[in-house]
Amino acid sequence: MKRDSVVLVFAFALLSSMSIQAQQPALQVITVNTSDAAGYVEWSKTALPVIADNFEGVLLMGTCIPTQGAQMEGDIYSFGFASSHDALLAVDLNSPAVASEISRVASMRRVRARDVWSVLRNTGRAIPVGGMFALYNLFVNTNSSNDYVSALSRIEAALHENGFDDVAVAAYYVNTGEYAGQVVASFYADSTQRLGALLDAMNGASFAEVLASIEATREVVRGEILNCQAHAVGQ
């Protein structure tokens, strides 16, 4: 039987009410392999709210399924932000309530990796429980994350000026794992079709100048397109 893989990503929350200067939001990326991706997502819908209730500082948790660019066919991501790295790394996966939920999927998955990302730029978009959205993620090497994030702000402004005011751009710094030291640019939209329209537009003349200005600040490593859904929101 062909194996699917599920990547649980604690990622992509709306942090507009927070001060990143006071506390830098963080997320954990957990890569999981499973032969039942649909079943794993169904488990996430009931388990992540329980885990969130036992996770002080949680902001948002859910799952993402790559439609293009996955490292392995069948990859999925599940996400959930914390208000700070302190809160994120204080999570106890062995607490009774959390361990009980995890035990329900022990037979259908194998954890491949756990990684910590830092939020460099948020989207300012609110995602309710059950809310669905799409992401276009680009992993890049850059000599200056500050310059790169500033360039992403200019790209978002250009998008809004050219009919894509529904698209937002976030940025993350990868602290651990295979991609440690890289920055992830994450383009947020309501659907993968909308991301397709975005890619069409960004290959046109309207974006040539702003994209040319960003090329000097980055080396693209890999990209992926994801379908996502939120399953739990912090209180």
Model confidence pLDDT, tens digit, residues 181-231: 999 999 999 999 999 999 999 988 888 888 888 888 899 999 999 999 999
Domains of the chain, first to last: 4-233 (3.30.70.100)
pLDDT tens digits for 106-158? Answer: 888 888 888 999 999 998 888 999 999 999 999 999 999 999 999 999 999 99
Rounded-to-integer distance, Cα 230 and Cα 171, Å: 19
For residue 19, what pLDDT is reported? 38
pLDDT tens digits for 164-175? Answer: 999 999 999 999
Q: Where are the beta strands (DSSP E) in the chain?
A: 4-9, 26-34, 58-68, 77-82, 109-121, 132-141, 168-174, 183-189, 219-233
Q: Decide if 55 contacts 21 (C-beta within 8 A).
A: no
